[in-house]
Amino acid sequence: MRILTVLTYYRPHTSGLTIYVERLARTLAKRGHQVTVLTSRYDSSLPRQEIVDGVRVVRAPVLMRISKGVIMPTFGYLAWKLALENDVIHLHLPQFDAAGVALRGRLLRKPTLITYHCDLELPAGIFNRFVNQIVHGMNHLAGVFTHKIVAYTEDFASHSPYLRRFADKVRVILPPVELPKVSQSESDAFGARCNPEGRRPVIGMATRFASEKGVEILLDALSNVLEHYPNAMVLYAGQYQDVIGEEVYLGRLLPRIEQYQTRGHWQFLGVLNPAQMSAFYPHLDVLVVPSLNSTETFGLVQIEAMMHGIPTVASDLPGVRQPSRMTGMGEVVPIGDADALAEALSKIFADPDQYQGDLEEINRTFNPQTNAEKYEKLYLELMEELS
């Protein structure tokens, strides 16, 4: 099967969305499919075309940026060319260009589906509100033209205004989660570098430094945690500098973070590769996902942590609360409530054995092969309907 996957940002850009798509594309390629990714050349140092893990990646040059989006003059031409060459068109939203690609799928009678990763909600501001409305409009058109829409969970599907609008098209497929195994010596070496003083407890956060991620909620909770656990520290894995559209947010929070850094209570680790993430999780006592809005719909890092036996604390957001509920390996707290976050952290620190889960079942449920098989069945179903 020839599968065209379309999204605005792809690897090496790091986000839950890009990691999801990379895992799916790579797994489908290993299963014998011909997978092509059409995306932006958001960094001019990236090649226009390359093969990565058996996946062909085609990058459209970027003329300019608008907020977190990009303008790509040759994208339309590439979309037509690649749509003609492939059997299935798989879009990943939010994406400004998705409507045009979905329309091409309709006109060419190619099975077209969307994986809907989150509701778009840009930072406050008149211009961002304008951009939000445009992207929402284009996403709506994409939903009209596409044949099926995939959501991560029933919980998110039933709460998302977008997915409720297209409820008759929605299918639920759990996301793919995997990390490479690392040796004990590699894990120990990582721990010696990131926490040489052996501080405990260790709170992990793994995400881009972005306003919707709720970093300030963790900062507010940390002062309370330190009253009871004065040796606690935060290990922050993920891009925190030069995050597109988030420079002001970082500047606002950085003075507070630097105060904790000087006292050994906060460390930025930067972007970690998959093997480094496998070494990162075992050195945590808990992972936090204090996200503030529906741009977070699940939090793949929660499952990654749980696969290593690490519990989580997450905001009570549709979808985001599901990993804890499915596994019993965590706590869910009200959105934006720093006191509740601190209380949940203390609860886990006091009785970690209460948050043990079935790691084999978690690995089986979220295995990329399981995810890919369900997409294959959906692709074939749509091909039969259109034949």
Shared domain for 171 and 202, answered yes or no, is: no
Q: Is 94 helix (H, G, I), strand (E, B) or coil?
A: coil
Total of domains in the chain: 2
C-alpha 351/C-alpha 330 separation (Å) is 11
Shared domain for 292 and 379, answered yes or no, is: no
What pLDDT does residue 242 have? Answer: 82
**How far, rounded to the nearest angstrom, does the alpha carbon of residue 279 sit from its chain's CA centroid?**
19
Shared domain for 75 and 13, answered yes or no, is: yes
pTM score, whole prediction: 0.88
Shared domain for 375 and 345, answered yes or no, is: no
Shared domain for 163 and 44, answered yes or no, is: yes
Shared domain for 221 and 342, answered yes or no, is: yes
Structure tokens at 336: 């934006």
Shared domain for 225 and 328, answered yes or no, is: yes
What pLDDT does residue 129 have? Answer: 67
* Nearest CA among 176, 233, 167, 173 for reference residue 200: 233
Find the distance separating the first CA and the last CA of the chain, reported in whole Å.
15
What pLDDT does residue 386 have? Answer: 92
C-alpha 39/C-alpha 79 separation (Å) is 10
Shared domain for 99 and 137, answered yes or no, is: yes
C-alpha 377/C-alpha 367 separation (Å) is 16
Structure tokens at 138: 């284009």
C-alpha 194/C-alpha 268 separation (Å) is 9
C-alpha 49/C-alpha 37 separation (Å) is 10
Shared domain for 91 and 148, answered yes or no, is: yes
What pLDDT does residue 243 have? Answer: 81
Shared domain for 109 and 141, answered yes or no, is: yes
Cβ atoms of 341 and 332 closer than 8 Å = no
What pLDDT does residue 6 have? Answer: 98
Domain range for 90:
2-176+367-386
What pLDDT does residue 295 have? Answer: 82
Q: Strand order in 55-61's β-sheet?
A: 49-52, 55-61, 34-41, 2-6, 88-93, 112-116, 148-151, 170-172
- In order along its 387 residues, the chain shows pLDDT tens digits of 999 999 999 999 988 899 999 999 999 999 999 999 999 999 999 999 999 999 999 999 999 887 677 899 999 999 999 999 999 999 999 888 999 999 999 999 999 999 999 876 655 666 556 666 777 788 899 999 999 999 999 999 999 999 999 999 999 999 999 999 999 999 999 999 999 888 899 999 999 998 999 999 999 999 999 999 999 999 999 998 888 778 888 899 999 999 999 999 999 999 999 999 999 999 999 999 999 988 889 999 999 999 999 999 999 999 999 999 999 999 999 999 999 999 999 999 999 999 999 999 999 999 999 999 999 999 999 999 998
238 Rama sector, left if φ>0, alpha if ψ -120 to 50, beta otherwise: left
> What's the sign of the alpha-carbon dihedral 81, 85, 91, 92?
negative
Shared domain for 271 and 244, answered yes or no, is: yes
The enclosing domain of 168 has a CATH number of: 3.40.50.2000
Shared domain for 307 and 371, answered yes or no, is: no
